[in-house]
Amino acid sequence: MARAYIERYFGEQCLIPALKAIGQSRQVEAREGMLPHHELYYEVHLVLDGAVTWWVEDEIYHLQPGSVFVTKPGEAHGSVENLVQPSQLTWLQVDAALLPDRTMQVELAALQQRTWLGANELVGQVQQLLAEIRQPQSDSPRLMMAHLQLFLGHLLRQYGQRRHELHFPPPFEALMGFIAERLTAVPPLTIDDLCQQSSLSRSRVFQLFEQHVGQSPISYINSQRIERAKQWLQTSDKLITDIGLELGYTTSQHFATVFKRITGMAPSEYRQSATLGMDWQRREIGRLYRHGHWDQVGEEL
């Protein structure tokens, strides 16, 4: 199993004033800790692996592997249920007012869509920034600014090219719809069911899932079953045991174990906490208080 880690730098550690924070992390199990917060700067997240569900103001975003995610200065944002979900992330914060390219400042302010695919094409420039920070030299600030502007230039180009694209190619989009319709199938969906539905080989089905969602087909189906369980826990009075059985889990204990591994909470705890009032309270906290990433996570996860 991959090891959890976090690497991050802030303020003067970032070597240039325009870069306020930068880091990368891998979270292998869901855990609580990402409180609602806002930043004074642009924040860009690259979701390299796993799937995360975040909110900004009143919108919720379900981000797949390869997603680019941008928040603007002052926007309250956080993770649904305050959970850091299993994922591999790279991020940075930029003070656009300190960029020498004024056109770039205007284009960042004009962004109307905050997420699209393309993280894997951008992560190399972030790695260059991290490499300079780890072993700074006398000319590192000059190179840091060059790498930062190159990163933002590619980010803005991607935005222009991809903001109207579908996240999935049509055949895979159809397969996603098939899974959504059959989450309560008994017995649960199998790889053979996906192959038969899509007329694709097993190896091709695995390849598509790895490419587009960063999970095996069964792992993806399981995560979607848990998402359906969360909806029912919030909106219905069904017994937890019945929810697990309806979603194809053989026992209530099996359902509870999988639910906690993915969400970080037992089903009963989730049902108790997932109320509209508490969701709004969390968001209001984010508007009133500024909680940066470094306030929430220890150096070793």
Is the confidence at residue 247, as pLDDT, over 80? yes
Mean of the pLDDT values across residues 203-215?
Answer: 79
Mean of the pLDDT values across residues 196-216?
Answer: 82
pLDDT of residue 1: 53
Residue 88: beta bridge partners? 26, 49
pLDDT of residue 131: 96
Q: Which CATH class is domain 5-166?
A: mainly beta
290 token code pair: 């500024």
Mean pLDDT is lowest, of 76-80, 124-128, 154-158, for 76-80
Q: What share of the chain is helix, strand, coil (3-state, %, to 5)?
A: 50, 20, 30
pLDDT band at 301 (very low <50, low <70, confident <90, very high): very low
pLDDT, greater one: 293 or 111: 111
The percent of residues in the chain predicted with pLDDT above 70, rounded, is 87
125 token code pair: 């420039």
Tens digit of each residue's pLDDT (9 = 90 or more) over 156-188 = 999 888 765 555 677 787 888 888 888 888 788
Tens digit of each residue's pLDDT (9 = 90 or more) over 250-298 = 888 989 988 887 777 788 887 877 654 445 444 444 444 333 443 333 3
Is the confidence at residue 80, as pLDDT, over 90? no
Residues 101 and 141: their CA atoms lie apart, in Å, by: 16
pLDDT, greater one: 83 or 151: 151
Tens digit of each residue's pLDDT (9 = 90 or more) over 1-49 = 568 899 999 999 999 999 999 999 998 888 776 778 788 899 999 999 8
SS3 call for 144: helix
pLDDT, greater one: 121 or 80: 121
pLDDT of residue 274: 62
Is the confidence at residue 129, as pLDDT, over 90? yes
Alpha carbon 276 to its chain's center:
22
pLDDT of residue 296: 38
Helices and strands per DSSP (H, E), number in the chain = 11, 11
pLDDT of residue 262: 75
Q: How far is CA 167 from CA 84, 88, 239, in A?
A: 23, 19, 35
Question: Domain coordinates of the chain in residue numbers?
Answer: 5-166, 170-276
Q: What is the DSSP letter of 135?
A: S
Q: Output the DSSP codes for 58-71.
A: TEEEEEPTTEEEEE
Query: Contact at 8 Å (CB) between 261 and 83?
Result: no
CA-closest candidate to residue 30, choices 48, 11, 52: 52
Say whether 170-276 and 5-166 share the same fold. Answer: no
Verdict on whether the full-model pTM lies above 0.85: no
Classify domain 170-276 at the CATH superfamily level.
Homeodomain-like (1.10.10.60)
Residues 282 and 274: their CA atoms lie apart, in Å, by: 11
pLDDT of residue 195: 92
